[in-house]
Amino acid sequence: MKKLSARRRHPLAALVVLLFALAATGGLYTALAPAGEAKAEASDSSLAIEEGKKLYAVGCSSCHGMGGQGGSDGPSLVGVGAAAVDFQVSTGRMPMQAKGPQAPKKPKAYTPEETAQLAAYIASLGPGPAIPESSAYNPADGDSAKGGELFRTNCAQCHNFTGQGGALTHGKYAPNLHDVEPRHIYQAMLTGPQAMPSFPDSTLTPEQKRDIIAWLDAVNTSESPNPGGFSLGGFGPVSEGLYAWTFGIGVLIAAAVWIAAHTAKARKS
Amino acid sequence: MSSETGSSKDVSEEHLPTAQEHGTVTVADDPFADPGLPAHEPRIQDIDEKAAKRSERTVTLLFVLSSLATVGFIVSFLLIPIDKIVYIWPFGHVSGLNFALGWTLGLALFCIGAGAVHWSRTLMSDEEVPDERHQIAASPEVKAEVLAEFRAGTEESGIGFGRRKMMRNSLLGALALVPLSGVVLLRDLGPAPGDKLRHTAWDAGKRIVNENTGLPLRPEDITVGSLTQAMPEGLDLHDHDFHAQIAKAAVMLVRLEPDDIKDEQSAEWGHEGILCFSKICTHIGCPATLYERQTHHALCPCHQSTFDLADGARVLFGPAGHPLPQLRITTNDDGELVALGDFAEPPGPSFWERG
Amino acid sequence: MSTATDAPKSAPSRGGKAPAGERVADWADGRVGVYSLAKANMRKIFPDHWSFLLGEICLYAFIIIILTGVYLTLFFVPSMAELEYSGSYVPMQGVLMSEAYASTLDISFDVRGGLLMREIHHWAALIFVVAIFFHMMRVFFTGAFRKPREINWLFGFLLLVLAMFTGLTGYSLPDDLLSGTGVRFMEGAVLAVPVVGTWLQMFLFGGEFPGYDIIPRFFVVHVLLLPGLMVGLIVAHLILIVYHKHTHYAGPGRTNSNVVGMPLFPVYMAKAGGFFFLVFGLIAMIAATTSINPIWVLGPYRPDQVSTNAQPDWYMGFSEGLVRLMPAWEIVLFNSYTLNLGLLIPLMVLPVVLGAIALYPFFENWVTKDKREHHISERPRNAPTRTAFGVAWLSWYFIALVAGGNDVWAINFDLSINAITWFGRVGFFVVPVVVFIITRRICIGLQRRDRDKVLHGRETGIIKRLPHGEFVEVHEPLSQAKLHALTAHDQYQPAELPASTDANGVQRKVGLLEKARVRISRGYFGEGGQVAKPTAEEYREITSGDGHH
């Protein structure tokens, strides 16, 4: 105890306390947040819709219109479904910060509970795809080989072979799918956010969507193997060529310089 | 005509390298004259046996290291399972075998090289010596001799001065003709093109099959903003000519709000706003299926040709020369989407006879 | 020399037998004359400079490619017959693919060390062409292509072109989705050929695209035809190097009529031999740590599938870029014949770009009309117009190369693909001109600096105060060796038109071509084209005058 009080006045003490406090807050938050979500699910749905409507009026209506009918700055949200809201809001794409070719992924602005309320409100405007059950997108249940074929037919043209992303016209792009949550991949296929076309269950069945998620899980997560070594971003010949032009020839020229350099002479210069 | 100052060229002849002491030459007339090769200066290893011994030890160590790496290579080859994935910072989850074999092989080779170079740099003589060049062109006497012999040879053979023209010309003719056999032999490399590029597997009444599910598509399957990859019914992945057929017949279906379709003929060729386009780019043949639902643009990933699917697949950007061909579609009695015939023009990259 | 030899009985003079090595050499000498060969070459002199080793990198990379390539052929099956994959890579199990692709998967996952060999092969191939490029630029910028080395310059250029096509055919062999897209590009390119395009396409592919013939055909081109030609050219290239002897940079004792360096045996045997192992070792380490062309995630080729970021290997990147920069032009002649200019023009510009650098040496010689042999490598600054042309050419090439990756730059740097393409379209015409002007000025500036250095000595940075209060920087005069090195280069005088009338007063006709040559020559060597190097008189005037040093 004495030791502690002696060090209380240490210049770094405040920092340590601050760090503890931050860690505690974070821990408390992570402990409580899922509980809040569960509560939202349990609570009366009409209450959620009411809450969602309020949130919507404040955060979304300036672009999408008071009743979700759309406006000059944002599309109509009638019939987009809860899945679209969950995708856009929980990946931070909505609300948009500034006008641009495309709304980028960013830290989310709403808590899971608020997101659920917003989703409930939008879902009440018209029938649309609901938030999928977690069993629908569990990569362990999918067939990665079939998923790979489907990915190359439907997705790779924009997202690249392993979902590293690719450019579209005029600054738009298909984002990198590295470590994207399976739920969001599923919702994106279902709803077709922004420039992306949708892949409704009538053309790409739920099992096939899960196969695609299994493929991405096999090739584009932090845990996916790259047997050959460092993957250079997975962009193929461009990054490989760049590497050969810089590091590859660089080390060989360094070796050449060493071979041809004059050995140190005995004199003092 | 032009243009030699030449002074420095001539200087070199009389200043052929001799072991002159560096810097002590006094040149009266030409301050820029070549002082000749500087005297060789010894390295530490040349005068200090200890340093030379050190170099020798380093070189030996490198060669021993190489041997050890080779042993490591063999051991890795035998002991590490081929499917073993290990995490190695910063490279990621890599094949343990590949990593071990690559490094041991690399080290084994590198150490031999490093040892040899260090040996040559520190222990072999580093005295620079000159080697004289010799004129490449022959002397006039040699040239004259050769020309005379050549003339004599042509004279003997009779080719040269038109004495036996007929014989010579018939030989030239025969030599010119004989490679023709080889050219003729190449004829069977492939069939005549005929009208193969004009026809695809599409035909009137052929159902449009979803590539993902293999099932015929119905209008209600295709929602606004969706993209569907499709092919004609009857194509099977296991068919011998599947690739050749799909290379021409692959299509994509999109559905637009009828008001968004700018091209009247295009709308008419579709069905309730469902439009069916060849997805083979008209530039070089990559599938141009980067469809943006908001702009209705389809982009080709190979050279960025951009087509406006709302406007008859008109080319907006990039090197493609003409729109993607559209397939006329309708529904059959069972409510399934079917083609009304083959493409009106050949799909895929342009060719000379395309018209 | 012409008399019959009577040597044989002179062999063992020291009593007993000669060492084994000597006896083997004796045996060989009696049949192929190794002693004369060794006498001529064993103490061959090679100059020491790192830039002279760039060509060796090419040679060694080529040997590495041959060694690993032979290994790969033991396992690779050049067949497009379809099978269902059942090897050990799970995310491809059950997928229908060609035998070529399946065997490449087997090399990667079921042959121990196969993946390493594939990666060494591919990395060495990329580095091979990079090294050719560096080597070629060294030769270009030092003027080492001048007489008598023009033929070897062309051999080297041919090797570059062959290397590009060997790479291209090899890249196509695994029949994955990326390489198949490249083959599709080739089909489109062949179809774009006027009049005979469709016939050529049918002949190349043995029928409609993709058919079953292209991979076996490319295989034989890749492993036999092109490498065979390359081996022949490389041997010729090396023979000419030995025959001409290497160039060297100007310096004390280094003249146009000698070559100064170290002997082949033992020094360069150890250095060059060691360098082979260094190159091989370093490339093996690169392969151990860095993935290249991971075909297992690319999937088998199908004509209805594609991925974004579809590029050829870098050495074909500039042709890809030329095509990407091309606007949409297509002409239909007489309503029945189509010219796909979107492909045709870039494919015609491609040989123009390559030919520009290949034929430059002949252009320069036409301007200078210089018939002398040149064995001293010039410093780039001392040939400002040539250097400017070379750098401008590089910028031209790189604009096209960068345009070939426009989608990858766009996604990684948040740019618009259309903006990059437009930059390339304009840059292709503008950038080389700007670069030419800037480079030439820099070279001339450097020449001026050399001149100052010769005349006024080296700036030491030491400030001295003179008795009357003035501050001056002490300039240290250069050594004789330095003075010589900085003034050893040739300077051409600009060509002049012959007098308009000859000695008899008769009008002399001067051809348009000759007029053009004189103009160009003035641009090269006239006012503003170079800084006259200091003369001995100037030097003496300055050094004997004030006590500047």
| DSSP labels, A68-115 | S---SSS---TT-HHHHHHHHHHTT-SS-SS--SSPPP---SS-HHHH
Beta-carbon separation of C127 and A219 below 8 A: no
Identify whether the C-beta of residue C443 lies closer than 8 Å to the C-beta of residue C529.
no
In a domain, B161, yes or no: no
In the A/B pair of chains, how many CB contacts fall below 8 A? 125
Given this model, what pLDDT does residue A12 score?
66
| Mean pLDDT confidence for C492-518 | 83
User: Using CB atoms, which residue from C198, C421, C487 is nearest to B197?
Assistant: C198
State percent of chain C over pLDDT 90. Answer: 80
In a domain, B16, yes or no: no
Report the range of poorest mean pLDDT among C14-18, C129-133, C171-175.
Answer: C14-18
In a domain, B342, yes or no: yes
User: Residue A157's closest chain B neighbor by CA?
Assistant: B290
Beta-carbon separation of B223 and A200 below 8 A: yes
| Mean pLDDT confidence for C23-37 | 94
State percent of chain B over pLDDT 90. Answer: 79
Measured between CB atoms, does C211 come within 8 Å of chain B?
yes
In a domain, B251, yes or no: yes
Report the range of poorest mean pLDDT among A100-104, B223-227, C68-72, C498-502.
Answer: C498-502
B72, B87, B122: which is the final residue of a domain?
B122
In a domain, B75, yes or no: yes
State percent of chain C over pLDDT 70. Answer: 96
Measured between CB atoms, does A269 come within 8 Å of chain B?
no
One domain, residues B114 and B217: no
Identify whether the C-beta of residue C278 lies closer than 8 Å to the C-beta of residue C79.
no
Given this model, what pLDDT does residue A90 score?
92
The span from the CA of B90 to the CA of A94, in Å, is 34
| Angle between the N-to-C axes of helices C417-456 and C384-403, in degrees from 0 to 180, rounded to the nearest 10 | 160
Residues ≥6 apart with Cβ < 8 Å to C261: B128, B129, B131, C45, C46, C47, C48, C246, C248
Strand, helix or coil at C111? coil
Given this model, what pLDDT does residue A40 score?
45
Residue B105: domain span: 44-122
Measured between CB atoms, does C292 come within 8 Å of chain B?
no
| Mean pLDDT confidence for C20-38 | 94
User: Residue B349's closest chain C neighbor by CA?
Assistant: C188
Q: What is the DSSP letter of C489?
A: S
- Band (pLDDT 50/70/90 cuts) for residue C384 is very high
In tens, the pLDDT along C33-45 reads 999 999 988 889 9
User: Residue C257's closest chain B neighbor by CA?
Assistant: B133
Beta-carbon separation of B130 and C259 below 8 A: yes
In tens, the pLDDT along B136-171 reads 999 999 999 999 999 998 888 877 666 778 888 899
Q: Indicate the pTM of the whole model.
A: 0.90
Q: Which residues does chain B have within 8 Å of residue A202's beta carbon, measured at their own beta carbons? A: 220-223
Q: Which residues does chain C have within 8 Å of residue B82's beta carbon, measured at their own beta carbons? A: 88, 109-110, 112
| Mean pLDDT confidence for C78-90 | 95
* Full DSSP string of C453-474: HHHH-EEEEEEEE-TTS-EEEE
pLDDT at B12 over 50: no
B122, B149, B166: which is the final residue of a domain?
B122
- Shortest CA distance to A260 belongs to which of C517, B117, C146? B117
Closest CA of chain C from A48, distance in Å? 38
Identify whether the C-beta of residue C258 lies closer than 8 Å to the C-beta of residue B132.
yes
Report the range of poorest mean pLDDT among A57-71, C136-150, C443-457.
Answer: A57-71
Closest CA of chain C from B57, distance in Å? 17
Mean pLDDT value across chain B: 89
Beta-carbon separation of C197 and B351 below 8 A: yes
The span from the CA of B151 to the CA of C366, in Å, is 31
Residue with tokens 């209506």: A61
Q: Which residues does chain A have within 8 Å of residue B113's beta carbon, measured at their own beta carbons? A: 255
Given this model, what pLDDT does residue C15 score?
56
Structural domains in chain A, sorted by start: 23-130 (1.10.760.10), 132-224 (1.10.760.10)
Beta-carbon separation of B93 and A225 below 8 A: yes
User: Using CB atoms, which residue from B3, B101, B304 is nearest to C113?
Assistant: B101
Given this model, what pLDDT does residue B26 score?
47
Report the CATH number that the domain containing residue B335 is assigned in CATH: 2.102.10.10
Partner chains of A (3+ C-beta pairs under 8 Å): B, C
One domain, residues B213 and B341: yes
Mutate to test the interface with A, among C177, C297, C479 (most CBs of A within 10 A): C297
Given this model, what pLDDT does residue C537 score?
87
Measured between CB atoms, does A153 come within 8 Å of chain B?
yes
Closest CA of chain B from C181, distance in Å? 7
One domain, residues B344 and B218: yes
Q: Which residues does chain A have within 8 Å of residue B317's beta carbon, measured at their own beta carbons? A: 169
In the B/C pair of chains, how many CB contacts fall below 8 A? 401
Beta-carbon separation of C92 and A145 below 8 A: yes
- Band (pLDDT 50/70/90 cuts) for residue B3 is very low
**Tokens (6 digits) for A67:** 């009743």
B70, B100, B122: which is the final residue of a domain?
B122
Beta-carbon separation of B297 and A258 below 8 A: no
As a whole number of Å, the CA-based R_g of chain B is 39
Partner chains of B (3+ C-beta pairs under 8 Å): A, C
In chain B the first and final C-alpha atoms are separated, in Å, by 56
In tens, the pLDDT along B194-247 reads 999 999 999 999 999 999 999 999 999 999 999 999 999 999 999 999 999 999
In a domain, B116, yes or no: yes
One domain, residues B219 and B346: yes
Domain count, chain B: 2
Q: By CB neighbour count within 10 A (0-12 exposed, 13-18 middle, 19+ buried), where does C398 fall?
A: middle
- Band (pLDDT 50/70/90 cuts) for residue B29 is confident
- Shortest CA distance to A240 belongs to which of C171, C185, C319? C171
Given this model, what pLDDT does residue A99 score?
79
Residues 202-241 of A with CB under 8 A from C: 215, 218-219, 226-241
The span from the CA of C364 to the CA of C523, in Å, is 12
Beta-carbon separation of C307 and A156 below 8 A: yes
Closest CA of chain B from A8, distance in Å? 39
Q: Other C-beta atoms within 10 Å of A134: how many? A: 10
Q: What is the ipTM for the molecules in this complex?
A: 0.91
**Alpha-carbon dihedral B185, B191, B192, B198, rounded to 10 degrees:** -160
Query: What Cα–Cα distance (Å) separates residue B229 from each residue in B215, B253, B287, C460?
Result: 12, 7, 11, 74
Given this model, what pLDDT does residue A96 score?
87
Q: Which residues does chain A have within 8 Å of residue B304's beta carbon, measured at their own beta carbons? A: 169
Residue with tokens 């310096």: C251
In a domain, B147, yes or no: no
pLDDT at C5 over 80: no
Q: Which residues does chain C have within 8 Å of residue A160's beta carbon, measured at their own beta carbons? A: 307-309
Measured between CB atoms, does C357 come within 8 Å of chain B?
no
Mutate to test the interface with B, among C340, C508, C520 (most CBs of B within 10 A): C340
Residues 18-37 of B with CB under 8 A from C: 22-23, 25, 27, 29-37
Beta-carbon separation of B349 and C192 below 8 A: yes
Residues ≥6 apart with Cβ < 8 Å to C65: C121, C124, C125, C128
Structural domains in chain C, sorted by start: 8-41 (no CATH), 45-326 (1.20.810.10)
Beta-carbon separation of B292 and A227 below 8 A: no
In a domain, B133, yes or no: no
Residues ≥6 apart with Cβ < 8 Å to C289: A229, A230, B91, B99, B102
Identify whether the C-beta of residue B136 lies closer than 8 Å to the C-beta of residue C56.
no
Given this model, what pLDDT does residue A45 score?
75
The list of chain A residues with pLDDT below 70 reads: 1-18, 21, 24-44, 267-269
pLDDT at B193 over 60: yes
Closest CA of chain B from C15, distance in Å? 32
